[in-house]
Amino acid sequence: MEAAAGVTVGVAALPSFSAVGAPQGQGSVRVGVIGVGNRGRGLLEILLRIGGVDVPAVCDINLAAAEKARRMVTDSGQTEPEAYTKDETIYQSLLERDDLDAVLIATPWDWHARMAVCAMQNGKYVGVEVPAAITLAECRQLVDTHEATGVPCMMLENWSFRRDNLAVLNMVRKGLFGEIVHCHCAHSHDCVDHWFFDEAGNIRWGGEFLVKYNRDQYPTHSQGPVLSWLDINCGDAYATITSTATISRGINDHFIRKFGPEHPNAKREYKQGDIVTSVVRTHKGRSIVINYDMQLPRPYDNRWMLQGTGGIYNEQRNALYLVGRSPEYHEWESFDPYQVEFDHPWWRDLTPAERKLGHGGTDLLEIKMFLKAVREGTQTPIDVYDSATMSSIVALSGDSIAQGSAPVECPDFTRGKWKTRKPSFAVT
């Protein structure tokens, strides 16, 4: 079945909004939140600041986190939500409620897919944090469940909603870069001392993945805008990937510097290489370089670069060059005036106050567009196919590394529909 009017495959089977909650286009959108640690409470704060949203339930097995979330809801003037805290499967009880239209999931990575599947099976729109899945089987299960239930599942890839990335997308669609042939992207963020380990040097849940696996652990922030720039899953698709990992030295060196050579984590063996470089070849012969870089000392950077027959954009330089438009031959010029000229309507509609909330307004825009889909009973801005594609790089990169950087075939989660599907993300 083909998509219609910008709504992707599967939405035609979606129950009416009234079947999963409030009357379509009316009343409050009722959202439950599963996982209310730091990230989950950040999403909850945004929900509570958006008009027309009720939060009847929250879930976390950390009692202190659940209590903080419950207080946030009551402090906002809403009725005290029910808190689900009993055990690791109690989220299922939350998802069985008949007074929820949607759920946001912000738990550790290995819980994302199973919770999202359960939510779809219970008729709840899903907004799940990144990555949406960490195995290929989980990616397929997300797609299969969406197609069986018709319920949308959106990975909350916020960098797809950044103001600069959406302006670049506008320029791509207007043809300013010509035919796009190559992109580079990265997630470069030293997370050793606050995400993978705490300040006291204790390993956190994210650090356990570095002990067990060697792969691109966190590939979606890098890919987010690239998928729409290249019309992936709606005009082109990933074909193969090759991935290479460096040796692992950064984590050990961090602990030696901070705690001394006898600290247990200074002597621990980590499977995860410090840098993973993946190269994706698409079916149309284009290439994407994806870098994982989260264990060495460095400032934050995404290193987006887009190159086509009509010019080049470089996020690091905040600059571009366009044939026939840039004033100096083969000289960079500032991207700033182009961001203003090609600002996406989504960003033009945000108030100055909204642009300050959640990664400079990016999280707020993402949640607003998710809730708009819930309220209207339509497909979410990022669909399950793009969510699975971005997430699949976790497992695919690990497979390639384990095979000596051999090419690995990328699954086609659209089952060939990418050849005829039309772009729908941020189409206005």
- Report DSSP letters for 182-251, one per residue: EEEEEEE---IIIIIB-TTS-B-HHHHHHHH--S-S--HHHHHHHHHHTTBTTTB-EEEEEEEE----HH
Edge-to-edge strand order for the sheet containing 275-282? Answer: 333-334, 319-322, 311-314, 305-308, 180-188, 287-293, 275-282, 238-245, 408-409
| CA angle (207, 213, 215) in 5-degree steps | 105
d(CA 47, CA 53): 7
* CB neighbour class for 106 (10 Å; exposed up to 12, middle 13-18, buried from 19): buried
Buried b (16+ CB within 10 A) or exposed e, 27-53: ebbbbbbbbbbebbbebbbbbbeeeeb
Sign of dihedral through CA atoms 417, 422, 427, 428? negative
Per-residue confidence (pLDDT) for residue 110, from 0 to 100: 98
Per-residue confidence (pLDDT) for residue 397, from 0 to 100: 99
Residue of 159, 267, 292 whose CA lies nearest to 214 = 292
Per-residue confidence (pLDDT) for residue 213, from 0 to 100: 98
Fold for 11-157, please state it: Rossmann fold (3.40.50)
3-class state of residue 390 by DSSP: helix
Domain spanning 160-344+382-419, CATH class: alpha beta
Task: Identify the DSSP state of 421.
Answer: P
d(CA 270, CA 251): 8
> What is the C-alpha radius of gyration for the chain, rounded to an integer number of angstroms?
21
**Under-70 pLDDT residues of the chain:** 1-26
Which residue spans of the chain are classified as CATH 3.40.50.720? 11-157
d(CA 40, CA 37): 5
- The tokens describing 170, both together, are 């506008």
d(CA 367, CA 79): 21
- Segment (H or E) for 126: strand 125-128
Task: Centre a 10 Å sphere on the Cβ of residue 18 and count the other Cβ atoms it contains.
Answer: 14
**Helices 38-49 and 362-376 sit at what angle, rounded to 10 degrees?**
60
Which residue spans of the chain are classified as CATH 3.30.360.10? 160-344+382-419
Q: Report the half-sphere exposure of 306 (CA within 13 A, side-chain side).
A: 30
- Which positions ≥6 away from 397 have C-beta within 8 Å? 215, 216, 219, 241, 243, 276, 278, 290, 292
pLDDT tens-digit map of 349-363: 898 989 988 899 999
Per-residue confidence (pLDDT) for residue 11, from 0 to 100: 31
pTM reported for the whole predicted model = 0.93
- The tokens describing 300, both together, are 């934050």
Strand 305-308 vs strand 287-293: parallel, antiparallel, or unpaired?
A: unpaired
Per-residue confidence (pLDDT) for residue 2, from 0 to 100: 28
Per-residue confidence (pLDDT) for residue 26, from 0 to 100: 57
